[in-house]
Amino acid sequence: MRSLGHQIVAEFYGCDKALLNDVAYIRNHMLEATIVTETFHHFSPHGVSGAVIIAESHLAIHTWPEYGYAAVDLFTCGDSVSAEIGFNHLREALGAGHVSTMEVHRGQIDMMSMGDQGQPAMKLVTSQTG
């Protein structure tokens, strides 16, 4: 299946709750990859939201320190690997005890060329780590 984009939707459970509330820490670890632009915000009393645009990719996070949970999205195009490096780095940095991911193929070229524009195709990846 040829597609323009490739997205990983990830649930990070069991993370370090203090780190999930530390915007500087999260920002630093999301900026390890080569960044084009970035935006981060720390909410009161707790929680961090942020996004980085990496070439034609993006990495976004929303944290709930009270649950030890972070919602992480990685969107990549073509050969971009720096975003995936950032994704894996972030997982380590937050000390996620359990991660589940879902992959979505975005912008399917075959569908577009056929004029048949359907739903986003999905592939479930059972990469759950304890």
53 binds a second copy (CB under 8 A): yes
**CA diameter of the chain:** 50
Residue in 57, 60, 54 with CA at minimum distance from that of residue 73 = 60
User: Of the residues 77, 89, 98, 100, which is catalytic?
Assistant: 77
CB of 58 to a second copy, least distance (A): 5
The piece of 17-25, 26-34, 63-71, 83-91 that touches a second copy (CB under 8 A) is: 63-71
Q: Is 77 among the catalytic positions?
A: yes
Relative to beta strand 98-108, strand 48-54 is unpaired
Show the site string, 80-109: x = touches a second copy by CB under 8 A, - = not. ------------------x-xxx-x-xx-x
CB of 109 to a second copy, least distance (A): 8
Q: Is 49 among the catalytic positions?
A: no
CB of 102 to a second copy, least distance (A): 5
* DSSP secondary structure, 18-86, as one string: TGGG-HHHHHHHHSSS--SEEEEEE-SSS-EEEEEEETTEEEEEEEEGGGTEEEEEEEEETT--HHHHH
The piece of 17-25, 26-34, 49-57, 79-87 that touches a second copy (CB under 8 A) is: 49-57
78 binds a second copy (CB under 8 A): no
Contact between residue 83 and residue 68 where contact means Cβ atoms under 8 Å apart: no
